[in-house]
Structure 1
Amino acid sequence: MKDLSALRSTIRATSAFRQITEDDVSYLIEVGELKTYGPDAVLMVQGEESHDAALILGGTVTVIADSARGQIPIATLEAPCLVGELGALAHLQRSATVRARTAVTVLRIGRSALAEVARTTPSLLIDVIGRMGDRLRRFNGAIGLYTHALEALERHEFDPALMDELRNPLPDLADFGYTFGRIAEQILLRRQRSDEMASAAVIQRALLPKPAEFAADTGVDASASMNAARDVGGDWFELVPLDDGRVAVGVGDVCGKGVPAALFTGITKTLIRINLRETPDLPGAILKANAYLANNNAAELFATLLYAAFDPPTGEVELVSCGHLPALVRRASGAIEKLLGGGLPVGLFETLKPRMMRAELAPGDLMLLYTDGVTEAEDEANVEFGEDSLAKLLTLGEACGAAEWVARVEDAVREHSHGRPQFDDITCVALAR
């Protein structure tokens, strides 16, 4: 810009210098460094010391903030304008990078010269303070947005529209805004998953028989419980009256955790129940279910199970085991017996030969079926509860009803674990004659 008159007019057209004296204009021209930059040239770099301000006399520049996500455009400024004056006056590092968008002409004004003009022209400082105030206003607005979003998350009232605002943070808060937005997304996703898992848990619970109703309808003293290690589990229990007057009780344990195991659990249990409803043939119902599972098992899941068909008038019991732990029988005398157990699990092989046996429950006897979540519960020293402790538990105390025996087992396992996290589903069924 060779025309001195045009240069003086351009300086005065800048809002920060509108009220400076002619002497100050001359002073700025005298001490300033007139420079030209081509498109894409860098005038200032974020983080560097602010030794001077840049008075853009001609052209267009872009102000850019560097963040962990990369460069974020803050503003596009047209000449005439002053940039970098706050950092220069306050001895601050550059808060942003300034890059030429077109060819630009710049008068670079050193810190001391800018301070000298500011001492004689309060309007320059007022202009700087005004822009700082606007920046603080926008900063406070952004903080208010994040505070509102946080409160909404706490109240479970997060409006998805807020996420759009969080994705466009104030450049000064770009890193914080990006992190806050990611956290908010994760909270919403996990909350949604938690809600879905809670619904799945309700459905799984609804599929389990109601022990009290079963006992009232059949007159059989039976009880059961299932405590999942997660929202949904891979264990199940069964209580179902058969058309021939017997009742079938059972427990099962799918190899796996979470939703896949819960789905396989529901399918396996339902197949066996439907088969038993059609024909009161316990081995046949399990074999028929296994045939379907083995041919429709892309996930290659499997389950161990132990079922018993009990005849209330005679006390006769037919047991079928597929890879499961043995049943425990507490005789009226207090003696403990193990019945059956072992074999291959269901779901893997179409040809399955479950282990079977017959036994008898005399008046006063109790039969307990359980999953390995009971016997493998660990204490603080990683010592398992074990089958021996379970058998010993059955010898202690006076004879009682099935529901009380289930409660005793749960209490003993809980006491053994001493508050350690539950790592496996805990399921047991008690049947007393």
Structure 2
Amino acid sequence: MDFEPSEKVKALEAKLKAFMSEVVIPNEKVYQAQLEAGESRWQIPPIMEEMKEQAKAAGLWNLFLPNERYGAGLTNLEYAPLAEIMGGSPIAPEVFNCNAPDTGNMEVLAEYGNEEQQQMWLLPLLDGSIRSCFSMTEPEVASSDATNIQASIVRDGDEYIINGRKWWSSGAGDPRCKIAIVMGKTDPTAARHEQQSMILVPLDTPGVKIERVLNVFGYDHAPHGHAEISYNNVRVPAKNILWGEGKGFAIAQGRLGPGRIHHCMRSIGMAERALELMVDRVSNRVAFGKRLADQGVIREWIADSRIEIEQARLLTLKAADMMDKVGNKAARKEIAMIKVVAPNVALRVIDRAIQAFGGAGVSDDFPLAAAWANIRTLRLADGPDEVHRDSIARMELKAAAKKEQ
């Protein structure tokens, strides 16, 4: 396996690193200050739109999308180091229009949407002029098993009627969020994985109600937000169905593969930033007569962090390479493995950095506490660790059984 970046990717890496250090990182505090100073936390800080225009002008836009018609045409392996760089700041992915859940939704529309759906929703998303959310998880069922989903999508002439309650619809708090991809059951009597469908629901449709925005460890993640949404007799045109009835589970599996590995790439980027902050902090702080960097235990933290980051990065690159060469389905074990490894590695590195910072580490003066809260959600998002571990074990057992035959 050769993971050496192409000249094209090296050039993008250099531009992206420079943009991050010159534009994004210095504006993190500006973004937060504007967010706090506005009439509502659910308004978009002006600095975000300014940075987005700069990113467009720099050619650092829609880098995630392998579809050359709409995106940069990069492979998963080519995109990996770029996503990692973006992961170093919580506001960076949106700056480059590479933020979840919009990336996954754009991939769905590009892959499964028809021409009319693409014109109406994909193009504005690609331009960054609107946002979207993904309504799959439900509060009343264990949604780690997507076949549990109870929301109904019922055909009525030239329309579908949607009823159900969803939560953790990330991005729905954003005032620019105009469209939801909703997953529900069109035929509860069909085969287990053919009962579900996905449908496009504009958020201004009668019957759609954002009930509340959920906090994550006390963070509201404004102006993005994670919403609980009720769909009460919501009627949309039948043409809003994606791909066709019974294709929801297949779409979900196609969507979650790239989405999972993108999360992992960004997690490694945040781990790198936490390590960088830790090294800088311990190199300049003195306790008990010597630098923190001269304490043996802290050197172990630094060494372990570097080792774990490199291991996670290599597994991420291997998974990305396999997705490119043999497809997402054949690479599902590697995707599952990195989905477990990357968030856990990032959490350990961030935790060590917090410990090295002392009281400052758990404050909002530094990005570590918020980063820990963000990354911790990834042990649940797109499937909990336990589901991925079970999947890995089943594949191992199946492979062993084949060898014995």
**Could you say whether these structures have the same fold, taking a TM-score greater than 0.5 normalized by the shorter chain as the test?**
no
Larger radius of gyration between Structure 1 and Structure 2 = 1
Q: Which has the higher strand share?
A: 1
Q: Whose helix proportion is higher, 1 or 2?
A: 2
User: Which structure is richer in relative contact order (CA contacts within 8 A, separation 6 or more)?
Assistant: 2
Give the TM-score, by structure 1 length.
Answer: 0.21
